[in-house]
Amino acid sequence: MLVIAALGAVAAAVTVLRLIPGVNPTTAGFALLVLVLLSATVGPQWIAVCVAVASTLSFNYFFFPPIGTFSISESHNWVSLFAYLMTAIIGSNLSAAAQARTREAIARRNEVTRLFDLTRDVLLTSETSGALDALARHVARRFELDRVAICLPADHGWSIHQGGAAPAAVDHEPLNQALARARGALEFDAHRRAYGGQVQIGGTVLVPLRHGVKAVGLLATDAGALDAGALDAVAGVVAIAVERTQFLGEREAAAMERQRGELAATLLASISHDLKTPLTAIRVAVENLRDELAIEERRSQADRAIAELVRLTRLFEDLLDMARIDAAAIPVQREWVTPADIVDAALAHVRHAVDGHALRVDADAGQVVNLDARLTAVALSHLLENAARYSPPTRDIIVEARADAAGFHATVIDHGPGLDPAELDHLFERFYRGRRAQQHAPGTGMGLAITRGLLNAIGGQVWAENAAGAGARFSMTVPAGTRALPVEA
């Protein structure tokens, strides 16, 4: 079709030139030469050569005397005709070469842009879990590749991360051979703009992933999808991304290990303090019971010992709950209960802490919710204990609980010192105690962390804010099915 269109253009140009009165061979030659250059600009080189030959023949037949024949009567016209043909062919070659350079420059620009976008994708990836699968997808998307796989040697075989629309299936033995070859001497091919080591197996090419001079894996994709230089550049970026992912994983592991050490030290310090006080009080109370005391005094000492034993029991329960949360070993057993039942269970759980405080409870007893009543009550009990710790005995602790279509909702409002807005993001971290909390009451900083962990296990949430007046408001919600409590006949 292109040839027919080009020859048609030559025929049209000759027809137009012959319709112009008095046109001379020089004018016709320049007009046909412009047509040759135009064809070289918009089409491939072989089209331009065809147009050059066709225009030369037309020039000879229609404009060189004797007109209407391909013979040339004067010898100097042979020189003119040959010069015209050479000019047409050379001009078409130059135009085609310029066009090819333009296309190559655009391709290189697009290649650099895609490499930049891929590099940005790598830098924006902060997660280590699934990072290599995401990297393979980024490579396939940025370079429009149907099949791409990042192949990394593992302890038992290969770890292959697919990224294209279709999987790049490569056997382990060719991968072993390609990696062994890539670990040989490193040589650069200036003509292909690529280092050695690329291996083609059927329709798949394996490109070494080199970090420096070390081959850390292979990139598999369709042969011919990119030139060798572009494949090497992509493989270089992928190798850097692989090393970065491994570095991030090692850094996260080190940070987790450091955090474990800090948590252990904090836990030891907190428990040492919280164990020492009740144990000392129990020892003193038991020693007093050995003395000759009045009945009332003996009862007072026994009550004190029991209260401290309850406190110790509560501390060990918190430690067990935290261990279960860390191990994700919290069994969930749903049952139908009223919000009032949950509040009663929570208050019973922390009776030692809320005694002496005025409570104002507004709990719904006409609806039932389907949830784990034990975990919900324990989570609520920590909020109640926290409110009792910071609220003055002369002020009410307000407890509200209700059920609606979304599930169970509870709010605990105290009249304590309130919350520092700068500490709200850390309030539910384990062992964290804010500046105001440290000034007003002792504690381990485990209660709110346990609340969040228990609620996470049953799909719930907890958050804190300052109340409208003074004090803090803690709210929790648990998604659950609800229904009206049936009326007994």
- Closest residue by Cα to residue 178 from 161, 194, 191, 196: 196
What mean pLDDT is predicted for residues 316-339? 74
Residue pointed to by tokens 């296990």: 457
Q: What is the mean pLDDT of the chain?
A: 76
For the range 18-27, what are the long-range contacts, defined as Cβ-Cβ under 8 Å and sequence gap of 24 or more? 18/62, 23/63, 24/63, 25/59, 25/63, 25/64, 25/80
pLDDT at 109 over 80: no
Q: What is the DSSP letter of 381?
A: H
Residue scoring higher pLDDT (205 or 279): 205
Give the confidence band of 267 by pLDDT, cuts at 50, 70, 90: low
How many Cα atoms sit within 13 Å of 168 on the Cβ side?
31
**All residues at 6 or more sequence positions from 410 whose CB lies less than 8 Å from its CB, including other chains:** 339, 342, 343, 380, 383, 399, 400, 401, 402, 475, 476, 477
pLDDT at 489: 45
Give the pLDDT confidence score for residue 426 in this predicted structure: 73
Per this entry, what is the length of the chain?
489
pLDDT score of 327 = 62
- The mean-pLDDT minimum among 63-77, 107-121, 402-416 falls in 63-77
The conformation of residue 146, written as its DSSP 8-state character, comes to S
How far apart, in whole angstroms, are the C-alpha atoms of residue 281 and residue 294? 19
In terms of DSSP H, where are the helices of 64-74?
Answer: none
For residue 344, what pLDDT band results from cuts at 50, 70 and 90?
Answer: very high
- For residues 134 and 337, give the distance between their C-alpha atoms in angstroms, rounded to a whole number: 45
pLDDT number for residue 77: 60
Place of tokens 């140009």: 13
User: Which tokens is 329 given?
Assistant: 């070993």
According to DSSP, residue 118 is labeled H
The yes-or-no verdict on residue 246 having pLDDT over 50 is yes
Give the model's pLDDT for residue 16: 80
Q: What is the mean pLDDT of residues 123-140?
A: 77
Structure tokens, 38: 């135009």
Over range 270-298, report the average pLDDT. Answer: 66
Q: Which DSSP symbol is given to 468?
A: S
Whether residue 366 has pLDDT greater than 80: yes
Q: Are 481 and 436 in contact (CB under 8 A)?
A: no
Instruction: Flag whether pLDDT at 444 surpasses 60.
Output: no
| Cβ neighbours of 257 (radius 10 Å) | 10
Tens digit of each residue's pLDDT (9 = 90 or more) over 396-415: 899 999 999 889 999 999 88
Q: Answer whether 136-252 and 268-324 agree in fold.
A: no
Q: Could you tell me the fold of the domain covering 268-324?
A: Helix Hairpins (1.10.287)
Predicted confidence at residue 7, as pLDDT, reads 76
Mean pLDDT on 218-236: 80
Residues 13-31 pLDDT 10s: 778 877 777 777 777 777 7
Reported confidence tier of residue 321, pLDDT bands at 50, 70, 90: low
* DSSP notation for 232-293: HHHHHHHHHHHHHHHHHHHHHHHHHHHHHHHHHHHHHHHHHHHHHHHHHHHHHHHHHHTS--
Of 161, 307, 280, residue with least CA distance to 221:
161
Torsion angles phi and psi, residue 196, rounded to 5: -70, 170
* Residue pair 235/254 in contact by the 8 Å Cβ criterion: no
Of 18-27, 224-233, 268-277, 280-289, least confident by mean pLDDT is 268-277
Domain definitions of the chain by residue range: 2-105, 136-252, 268-324, 330-484
**Residues 6 or more apart whose Cβ sits within 8 Å of residue 189:** 195, 196, 228
Lowest model confidence (mean pLDDT) among 63-72, 120-129, 316-325: 316-325
49: CB partners within 8 A, 6+ apart: 89, 92
In whole angstroms, what is the distance from residue 406 CA to residue 477 CA? 9
Residues β-bridged to residue 336: 370
**Which pLDDT value is given to residue 440?**
54
Is the CB of residue 375 less than 8 Å from the CB of residue 325? no
**How are strands ordered across the β-sheet holding 335-337?**
335-337, 367-371, 481-484
Confidence band (pLDDT; 50, 70, 90) for 162? confident
The CA R_g of the chain, rounded to the nearest whole Å, is 42
pLDDT exceeds cutoff 90 at 147 = no
Q: How many CB atoms lie within 10 A of CB 422?
A: 9
Task: Please choose, from the candidates 307, 402, 421, 306, the residue with its C-alpha nearest in 3D space to the C-alpha of residue 363.
Answer: 402
List the one residue out of 390, 473, 380, 384 whose CA is nearest residue 435. 390
Average pLDDT over residues 218-240: 81
Task: Say which CATH topology domain 136-252 has.
Answer: Beta-Lactamase (3.30.450)
pLDDT at residue 456 above 80?
yes
pLDDT value, residue 30: 75
* Distance separating alpha carbons of residues 444 and 438, to the nearest angstrom: 10
> 361 has which bridge partners?
399
User: Can you give the pTM of this predicted structure?
Assistant: 0.46
Mean pLDDT of the region 26-52: 73
**Range 245-266 average pLDDT:** 69
Average pLDDT of the residues in 283-304: 71
Distance CA 139, CA 209 (A): 13
Per-residue pLDDT at 216 exceeds 60? yes
C-beta neighbour count of 259 within 10 angstroms:
10
Least reliable range by pLDDT among 118-127, 230-239, 468-477: 118-127
- What does the block give as tokens for 10? 């030559």
pLDDT of 383 strictly over 80:
yes
Q: Is the pLDDT of residue 81 over 70?
A: no
Distances, alpha carbon 300 to alpha carbons 222, 285, 443, in Å: 84, 9, 24
Calculate the alpha carbon distances from 337 to 343, 372, 405, 475, 480 in Å.
11, 9, 15, 19, 11
Give the tokens for residue 390: 């910071």
* CATH number, domain 330-484, options 3.20.20.70, 3.40.80.10, 3.30.565.10, 3.30.830.10: 3.30.565.10
Question: What is the arithmetic mean of pLDDT over 116-130?
Answer: 72
